[in-house]
Amino acid sequence: MPSVVRVQYTLPDAQFLNELLRDDLILRYVKDDYSRSEHCLEFYDTDDQALMSRGFSLSVTRSRQIPVIELQQGLRLRREFPGLYEGIQYVAPYEQEGDLIEPLMLRGAPESFREAASAAPLRHWFDTVAHRMSTTLYLPDRTRVSMDFDNGELVVEDKRQPTYYLFFELLFGDVELLLNYCEQVQERFQLSTVLLSREQMALRLLRSR
């Protein structure tokens, strides 16, 4: 039951990434090569968004050889630090099409998830698709942070919206060091924080004209 501590920013466009990667504020903490991958996340919920209303986010990640089910619980925006999300994550292999609940229950997901997910049929709601560049930042005091750049799109029914995101996720170490570093990056590049969950963004796109 690993915790999630993540700070999210939007980038103006894909080209802006080049400026970030050349800056010393990034370069001084990078020791490894960047990995590149294709990420496709399928999000599921009931027709009345029972999971979202109870603080759950359910998705299947198909960017790996074996698809993975991910359940995030209580991934809430922390008001005193815009862009910071904290919550709990459960992960299980997706081995049988349509079997989304029991594999997560075996990994310790709460009974309240089963209740919400079983109240009505789950349906494929929307997708996020992205080309991702990732590396690890080696911050002071052995604090390790995953840094990911996503160049992709949000897909809801027949509507599509380009997305350019920068994520910092704590792997190990001091949360305050992560927040201090993110503040420096945000100030240096004048970045905008992500204040809506992916589900909220999908609803907004669905309702747009």
Which sequence spans correspond to the domains of the chain?
A: 3-207
Which has the closest alpha carbon to 112: 67, 71, 76?
71
* Class of the CATH-defined domain 3-207: mainly beta
Quick one: which H or E segment has residue 116? Answer: helix 111-118
Report how far residue 82's alpha carbon sits from residue 188's, in angstroms, rounded to the nearest whole number: 16
Residue whose structure tokens are 């939007």: 10
Q: What is the DSSP letter of 34?
A: P
Q: How many CB atoms lie within 10 A of CB 112?
A: 12
Q: What is the pTM of this model?
A: 0.88
pLDDT string in tens for the chain (209-residue length) = 568 899 999 999 888 988 898 999 999 999 999 999 988 999 999 999 999 999 999 999 987 678 999 999 986 666 678 788 888 999 999 988 889 999 999 999 999 999 999 989 999 999 999 999 999 999 999 999 999 999 999 999 999 999 999 999 999 999 999 999 999 999 999 999 988 888 999 999 988 86
